[in-house]
Chains A and B, each alone.
Chain A
Amino acid sequence: MNGFMFLIDQLILIGGVLILLGILSNMISSRLGVPVLVLFLFLGMLAGSEGIGGLEFEDYKLAHAIGTLALAMILFDGGLSTKIESVKSAWKPAVTLATLGVLITAGITGAAAAWVLNLPWLEGLLLGSIVGSTDAAAVFSILRNGGVGLPPKIASTLEMESGTNDPMAIFMTIGCIELLAQRMTFGVELLSLFAMQMVFGVLIGAAIGGLAVWIVNRIQLGAAGLYPVLVTSFCLLAFGLAANLGGSGFLSVYLCGLVLGNSHLIFKRGIRLYHDALAWLSQILMFVLLGLLSFPSRLLNISLKAMLIAAVLILIARPLACFLCLIPFRFQFKPMLFISWVGLKGAVPITLATFPLMMGSPNASLLFDTVFFIVVASAIIQGSSLAVVASALGLKTPKEPEPPVTLEISTLRHVDGDIVDYLVGDNSRASGKMVKELALPDGVVIALITRGDELIPPQGTTRVQSGDHVVLVLKQGTRPLVNQIFGRSEDQRGVIPAAFEFPLRGSITCSELSDYYGIVLDVSPTLTLNEMLKQRMTVKVGNQIRIGPLNLKILSLEEDQSIAMVGMAILSEAEIRAAEQDHTIG
């Protein structure tokens, strides 16, 4: 039997051990205050030929291949979880940083590298280009898992910048290599390479994303597990098509993910979870592999010079690029300083540093070692101090309110709503209230309450207790309101009224209402708002009624049960159309 040991058997064992250690290091990273990617890298170095593991690995082609695939998965997941609202608010500064910012950072760092390492300027610029981009994986993992709450504009800008700036760095790296190999000249050729990368990247990413949404929602697959895989296939298609046509595959997958993540998708939760897991696996694999690839002893040799270049990058190049790019967008001093500090480097530079090695550029291994050192230095220095810097600059905001614990029942067909199981916590606003006091919005029904082993059919007078599971049927769009009702009571953040309401006294007359808001009411003009509403609806706080373009909601009652205050919201044309359609159908 012993004769039948395949290489893959050992590789599987090693893979299992390394992934397990990777996950364990994620658990201790927050305690140590070191970004998890650094731990993954160290893990790889430890396992490597100069560490205790003694694994020999020096296959740059394989490293590049795995790095590229892993990065595509990470960027795709980043796109999937980026909300279109943050894109809208941040795309201008983010895109400027992702293009001009990378150029400035690469230029200054390149000049410093050429001087410090005594290289020709083009090779210096090659190094600058390789480390020019901010790493999406690093930024996402710190912003999302690191417990650093940031004002939305800063967080969106950073996320989007890091998601979109790799194509620019890749383009500059390839451009420098081609120039060095004298296969290309400055000018038209270089510019058309750039244009192709951007244009094909954007077009193909958006097109495949749109196509994917269309197909995922129409295809009827028998097994739920196939849906995430179907989405992965579109991710690979987006990358592969763009890259093979000369576009940027990275830009393409990011956009494809963005389109998918912001569309209504069947089984979206499963798809998201699966890709989140894929992104984690990719991070572990990629960083461990890159750690394996490095030679700690060679890093020591260049440490002083590399440190000097890292210092120029962190303290001069990145801040200068940020300030120049962000001042036109009315950013204030402190946010700009902070964004400068988040110029984290990650796997992209190391992956890019394998390019010159594969293409046989001069000084390729010097470049690789220097880049590796700079990435580790940047990740340790900037990554571990982010939270401290954020609070020193007064930018730290409390983390988003924790949504109540929920369990979702997914459907594989389109239904206009969700079935959600809320776990009522001790400090939930709903705890201790009767069902009828919960003021659930229209289109929301409690289907079932489970308490311990007991199933309770809900009635108006049923009291919700902490520890209960409340199963609700929700119509589309009511989720945020219900989250608030079941959210933690001390959480004042995020309590935004569905629409701004103008308070009106119940004692005003209908003619006043018509005069000011031009609505036509077929009633006596001296009738008060209180009397008019009593004729048309059940009087209860929270009940609402639509009258033409106005939505009137009872805010409070007098002691004699007459209506004291009414909240008037003005509906948009779309809302009115939707309401009228509902009416004709219902």
Chain B
Amino acid sequence: MKFSEIVVKDSVITDLKVENKEDAIRKLVGSLRANGQISADNEESIVGAILKREELGSTGIGKGIAVPHTKHPSVDELIATIAIAPEGVDFASLDGEDVYILFLLISPPDRPGDHLRALETISRHLRNENFCSFLRQSRTPEEVLELLKEADQDEV
């Protein structure tokens, strides 16, 4: 699976400034709503679903990265967005470090295979140190999108 198939272009945030995990998730979901990917009616329910998934264990997977995700019946396609938080967010990560890169994924419940493929794609690319450090250095959404394009072509 490629980033270009799931990441909503205009929703990328590169200057996320929030106090805590919940605010971070709200901001990301809000950005997807602002781009018309989800309706305002469902916004609260989606935020709730993501926070509920966090209760199983934080999706802060270490190295300054978090991948909050959930399934939700209100979406028809897999949608993802990315936020860079230059100052870091406390995400209750396993390694206790603040999070600087956030990938948020929402999948329709009837496509469990694609949901896993998308998570696998994200975590595979995030294992690439170059990819992570370029991502963290990105100052504009255009830079992030360009980097994702390169990652899709395995050029990072």
Contact = CB atoms under 8 A, between A and B. Distances in A.
B124 A516 contact: no
B115 A517 contact: yes
A92 to B, nearest CB: 7
Interface stretch (A387-395, A493-501, A531-539): A493-501
Interface in A91-121: 92
> Which size bracket describes the interface of A in this complex?
20 to 34
Contacts of B143: 330
A549 B120 CA distance: 10
Nearest to B124: A572
A504 B126 contact: no
A505 interface: yes
Nearest to B110: A518
B25 to A, nearest CB: 16
Contacts of B112: 517-518
B116 A518 contact: yes
Nearest to A520: B112
A480 interface: no
B57 A518 contact: no
Interface in A502-552: 502-505, 508, 512, 515-518, 549
B120 A88 contact: no
B116 A500 contact: no
A152 B132 CA distance: 13
A30 B99 CA distance: 41
A569 interface: yes
A499 B63 CA distance: 12
Contact of A499 (B113, B123, B146): B123
B120 A570 contact: yes
Interface string B65-92: 1010011000000000000000000000
A354 to B, nearest CB: 39
B127 A500 contact: yes
A307 interface: no
A508 B57 contact: yes
B149 to A, nearest CB: 12
Given A89-B155, A508-B57, A572 B120 contact: yes
Tell me the dominant secondary structure on chain A's binding face. mixed
Contacts of A518: 112-113, 115-116
Interface string B117-144: 1011001101101100000000000010
B154 interface: yes
Contacts of B58: 503
A62 B62 CA distance: 59
Contacts of A515: 71
A153 interface: yes
A266 interface: no
Given A502-B57, A504-B57, A571 B62 contact: no
Contacts of B155: 88-89, 92
B2 interface: no
B94 interface: yes
Contacts of B130: 89, 152-153
Nearest to B146: A330
A314 interface: no
Given A88-B154, A330-B146, A504-B57, A570 B123 contact: yes
Contacts of A501: 61, 94
A269 B151 CA distance: 32
Nearest to B92: A503
Contacts of A566: 57
A516 B53 contact: yes
Interface in A467-500: 496-497, 499-500
14 contacts: A88-B155, A153-B130, A496-B129, A500-B123, A500-B126, A501-B61, A502-B67, A515-B71, A516-B56, A516-B70, A516-B71, A566-B57, A570-B120, A573-B117
Given A500-B127, A502-B67, A503-B58, 14 more contacts: A89-B130, A89-B155, A89-B156, A153-B130, A496-B127, A496-B129, A499-B123, A500-B62, A502-B59, A502-B61, A515-B71, A517-B115, A518-B113, A565-B94
Interface of B: 53, 56-59, 61-63, 65, 67, 70-71, 94, 112-113, 115-117, 119-120, 123-124, 126-127, 129-130, 143, 146, 154-156
